[in-house]
Amino acid sequence: MTVAQTMTLIEITQFGGPEVLQPRQVDVPTPAAGEVLIRVHAAGVNRPDVLQRAGQYPMKPGMSPIPGLEVAGEVVALGDGVSTFALGDKVVALTNGGGYAEYAAVPAGQTLPIPDGMEWVQAAAIPETFFTVWANLFGLGAASKGQRALIHGGTSGIGTTALMLCGEFGIEAFATAGSADKGAVIESLGATAINYRDQDFVQVIQDKTAGQGVNVILDIMGGSYLNPNIAALGMDGRLVMLGFLGGAKAKEVDLLAIMAKRASVTGSLLRSRTAEEKAAIAAQLREHVWPVLSAGRCLPMIDQVFDLKDAAKAHARMEAGDHVGKIVLRVI
């Protein structure tokens, strides 16, 4: 299989607004032991990419400075020791950065076959959100059939994925959004919409659950929502934090409320998990979620597609907050 010697990628030239994303020509990477080299057809755009571009994402040593956490494409080279894939396989992958590029080297354990019948753009919208939701809502949050979940940011990529999986696995879902149109999308996914601009989500949850609250909350807001989230939890409830759009620090935390409900407060960053942890999540997805996707259910909702060279426009779209579902870059 022919592999080019050079490729185009999108780099962050300096921390700042979307305009700092610029194309650059570099050598195509060589896959290390345990990696596959993917000829990227499409790459997903995610909130961590935006934070990284703005200099607000915690970058550990060894993390790629090139944005892009998920890709779909073809395997064109194999690193030493890789036997789970063959040249020409169509795959999706959770990258460790570097997805905004024509080629990406990715650990084989973070790579999965494209679900049956799925095209490149939709496939590229799977890894980051599905890995995140599975690891946090169903892993840390221990959501299960018959329970209740509250999803903040219900029309984001994470939000729509969480709501679809809640419906698939028998979890009653509530979700917040900031407009009637977004609320209609949430309702179409089988969840109860809460417009945070004119409704108190704590009161709605209490009213709808006869005061019992929800079992798990998936939160992207952070500090400003901490106390209200605790108030919306039921006994032994779990609050799982994924972001901090409302601030990374909380003030005047009501510890008594946490103790009284035996509540668990936790959170995680997917990118900083080990390769072994990511591979374990991939295996769980292949077992529990891939059959669902291959059957045509819980398919990612696509908001808008931009060419790779227009990554800055994609970031501007995400920061405007009007998107519903996933924003994707088309590479080929």
**What six digits make up the tokens of 31?**
């896959």
**Res 115: pLDDT:** 95
Looking up tokens 């509250």, which residue turns up? 150
DSSP for 90-153 reads: EEEEE-SS--SBSEEEEEGGGEEEPPTT--HHHHHTSHHHHHHHIIIIIIIT---TT-EEEESS
Mean pLDDT, to the nearest integer, of 130-143? 98
Instruction: Give the whole-angstrom CA distance, residue 134 versus residue 297.
Output: 16
Summarised one tens digit per residue, pLDDT across range 210-259 is 999 999 999 999 889 999 999 999 999 999 999 888 888 988 899 999 99
> Has domain 6-126+271-330 been given CATH number 3.90.180.10?
yes
- Nearest CA among 61, 59, 50 for reference residue 12: 50
Contact, 137 vs 240, CB < 8 A? yes
Q: Domain locations in the chain?
A: 6-126+271-330, 130-267
Mean pLDDT, to the nearest integer, of 7-25? 98
CATH number of 130-267: 3.40.50.720
Burial 159-186 (b: 16+ CB within 10 A, else e): bbbbbbbbbebebbbbbbbbeeebbebb
Structure pTM? 0.95
Alpha carbon separation from 62 to 18, 35, 58, 214 (Å, rounded): 24, 16, 12, 39
Half-sphere exposure in the Cβ direction for 18 (13 Å, CA): 14
Helices (H) and strands (E) in the chain, counts: 11, 15
> pLDDT band at residue 57, thresholds of 50, 70 and 90?
confident
